[in-house]
């Protein structure tokens, strides 16, 4: 367990640079925080994404910018831009299951186009100064898609592959397929990270993720997303109330200093609470707050 690599998975609208810093400073225990993916939209790289990957906003926090691309050209543009910001570590998203990205051939949709994965592999090889990794699904429609891409992925210069053992079409429904994860383990040459449904972190809980014939020693580590948003204290011995209170102070201060008006500020603050594992009655009052005055009343329990 001491040598287990732990990554915080990205979630659009939630794990921005401010949240990542709050978790790092108040909890820690994470080896790498992945940014929500940087994308090309309407022919341009989103400025919002680049503000989030600005090295100044991530200084001191172990951050990995993630990109999502449909082919080698998009991937090259994204890498050029991130390298221009000074990044020497980049992750490629081949796992996003959201229909708009899949339809465009990005995320898990890219797994249906091995020739485009080959283009990206060549772009990676042109950039030996960058440490790449890949986050992927079993496939979009079937497991065979991911297995068919494996020879190309094995030729990529990667520090590891993160596998979420669901199909893209499942999105987050059903149970993460541990048997399929074991099959991929047999076919991959890179260190492997397990992602999906990790609700707690212990030697016992992790050993239950894998079939008896595939010991946890073969796994580099784990990536945790929604459950770490729900229980940000998971990786420490700190009291949940203290973690939430201290993280909230950082997110609140940034929101009130950089956003304008109750609506914008509350939108950001509501995102902080949306996944948190707190009593439903308390969460309901917070999420219904439509003014900062009512919000302050709703979160008064933090100071108890």
In contact, 55 and 86? CB cutoff 8 Å: yes
Q: Is it the case that residue 192 has pLDDT exceeding 50? A: yes
Instruction: Give 210's pLDDT tier (boundaries 50, 70, 90).
Output: low
The reply to whether 159 and 86 lie within a common domain is: yes
The reply to whether 144 and 274 lie within a common domain is: no
Q: What b/e readout covers 188-203, taking b as 16+ CB neighbours within 10 angstroms?
A: bebbbbbbbbbeebee
- Least confident stretch, 117-126, 131-140, 150-159, 175-184: 175-184
Q: Is it the case that residue 129 has pLDDT exceeding 60? A: yes
CB-based contacts of 53: which residues, under 8 Å, 6+ apart? 35, 38, 63, 65, 82, 85, 87
Residue 1 has a pLDDT of 45
Separation CA 178–CA 156 (nearest Å): 24
Q: What percent of the chain has pLDDT over 90?
A: 85
The reply to whether 197 and 284 lie within a common domain is: no
The reply to whether 218 and 244 lie within a common domain is: no
Residue 178 has a pLDDT of 86
Structural domain span for residue 117: 5-235
Q: Among candidates 264, 265, 258, 260, which has minimal Cα distance to 299?
A: 265
The reply to whether 15 and 127 lie within a common domain is: yes
Residue 174 has a pLDDT of 87
DSSP designation for 98: -
Residue 202 has a pLDDT of 62
Residue 207 has a pLDDT of 57
Q: What does the pLDDT average to over 6-29? A: 97
Q: What does the pLDDT average to over 35-51? A: 96
The reply to whether 202 and 292 lie within a common domain is: no
Q: What does the pLDDT average to over 224-250? A: 96
The reply to whether 219 and 266 lie within a common domain is: no
DSSP designation for 1: -
């Amino acid at each position: 367990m001491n040598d287990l690599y732990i990554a915080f998975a990205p979630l659009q609208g939630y794990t921005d640079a401010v949240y990542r810093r709050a978790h790092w400073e108040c909890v820690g225990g994470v080896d790498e925080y992945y940014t929500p993916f940087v994308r090309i939209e309407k022919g341009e790289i989103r400025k919002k994404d680049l503000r989030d990957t600005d090295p100044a906003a991530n200084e001191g926090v172990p951050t990995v910018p993630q990109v999502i691309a449909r082919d080698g050209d998009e991937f090259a543009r994204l890498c050029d831009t991130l390298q221009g910001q000074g990044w020497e570590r980049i992750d490629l998203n081949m796992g996003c299951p959201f229909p708009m990205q899949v339809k465009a051939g990005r995320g898990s949709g890219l797994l249906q186009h091995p020739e485009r994965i080959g283009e990206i592999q060549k772009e990676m090889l042109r950039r030996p100064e960058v440490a790449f990794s890949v986050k992927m699904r079993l496939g979009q429609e079937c497991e065979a898609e991911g297995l068919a891409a494996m020879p190309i992925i094995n030729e990529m210069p990667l520090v590891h592959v993160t596998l979420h053992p669901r199909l893209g079409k499942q999105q987050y429904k059903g149970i993460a397929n541990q048997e399929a994860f074991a099959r991929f383990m047999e076919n991959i040459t890179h260190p492997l990270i397990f992602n999906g449904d990790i609700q707690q972190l212990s030697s016992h809980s992790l050993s239950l993720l894998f079939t008896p014939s595939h010991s946890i020693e073969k796994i580099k580590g784990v990536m945790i997303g929604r459950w770490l948003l729900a229980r940000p204290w998971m990786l420490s011995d700190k009291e949940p109330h203290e973690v939430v209170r201290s993280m909230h102070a950082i997110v609140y201060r940034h929101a009130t200093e950089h956003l304008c008006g109750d609506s914008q500020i509350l939108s950001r603050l509501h995102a902080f609470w949306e996944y948190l594992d707190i009593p439903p009655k308390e969460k309901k009052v917070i999420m219904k707050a439509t003014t900062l005055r009512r919000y302050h009343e709703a979160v008064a329990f933090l100071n108890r």
